[in-house]
Amino acid sequence: MLNTMKGMLIEYALSLPPLVLVFEFNPERLTRTRTITLRTGSAPGTRGGYDFALPTETARVAQGVTVQPERFSMEILLDATDRMNDGDAIASQFGVEPELDTLRSMVEPKSQGPGGLQTLASLGLGGQRAFQRSESASVLLLVWGTHILPVFLTSVEITEQAHLPSLVPYRAKATLSMQVIEGNNPFYTVEKVRQVVGAALNTGRTVVGGIF
C-alpha cells in the first residue's frame, strides 16, 4: 500500500487550546488561483494595458494593475476507521469530531487576553482593554510537502459521510479554501526563494533541451 504524506494546518499563535490539524494529503485535486485586476482607465491607444515597445517599459505598461493574493482550495478526508480498528479509545468514542472541532475553531474569531494568549472570542475570556477585546482571524501555517505557507482559512465546508450509533461522525470530507498571506514574513519569503529556484531550474532544463 502506498503511504501518503501528511499535511498539517497549525495555528501560528499562543492559543488556548493549541490548534493543530494533521491529515493525509493525497487529494484528487488541489486548485491554486491567482488573479490580477486591470484598471487602465483612459490610457491612450490601449486595450488592457498601456502602449509599449521595449522590455524596459513593462513597469509603465502595467500601471493600474493590481495582483491579488494566491488562493488555495483543497478537499481532505478525515477518517477514524483505522484508529477505531486499532482500539484507539478516543477514535472509538469521538470519531473525527475532535478534528472537525479543530477546523471550526480555526475559522472562528479570536480575542487576545493577557500575555498575548488567544481564545475563542465567543468564550468572552479576552482582557478588559479595548485592544485585547478586538477580534481577529487565525493566522495558520499550511504544511504541504516542501511548502510551509502562511494562510487565512477563508472557507470550510464539511460533509459527514459515516456515523457511529451515537451519531458521532467517524468519516468526513472537508473542502478548505485558503488565502496566502503575502506579507513580510519568514514563511512567505522562503516560499518565494523556493519558487525562484524552481523557475530557474525549469529555464535551465529548457535551454539544455535545445528549445531556444
Domain boundary assignment for the chain: 6-30+72-181, 35-68
Locate 114 and state its grid cell: 493577557
- At residue 1, the pLDDT reads 41
Note the pLDDT tens digit of each residue in 112-167.
877 778 888 887 766 666 555 678 889 999 998 889 999 999 999 999 999 999 99
- Find cell 519568514 and name the residue: 186
Cα 172 to Cα 77: distance, rounded to the nearest angstrom: 6
CB atoms within 10 A of CB 169: 21
Note the pLDDT tens digit of each residue in 34-90.
998 877 656 555 566 677 888 888 887 777 788 899 999 999 999 999 999 999 999
* Average confidence (pLDDT) over 3-7: 72
Laid out side by side, the sheet with 20-24 consists of 20-24, 6-11, 140-144, 147-163, 169-180, 71-79, 30-33
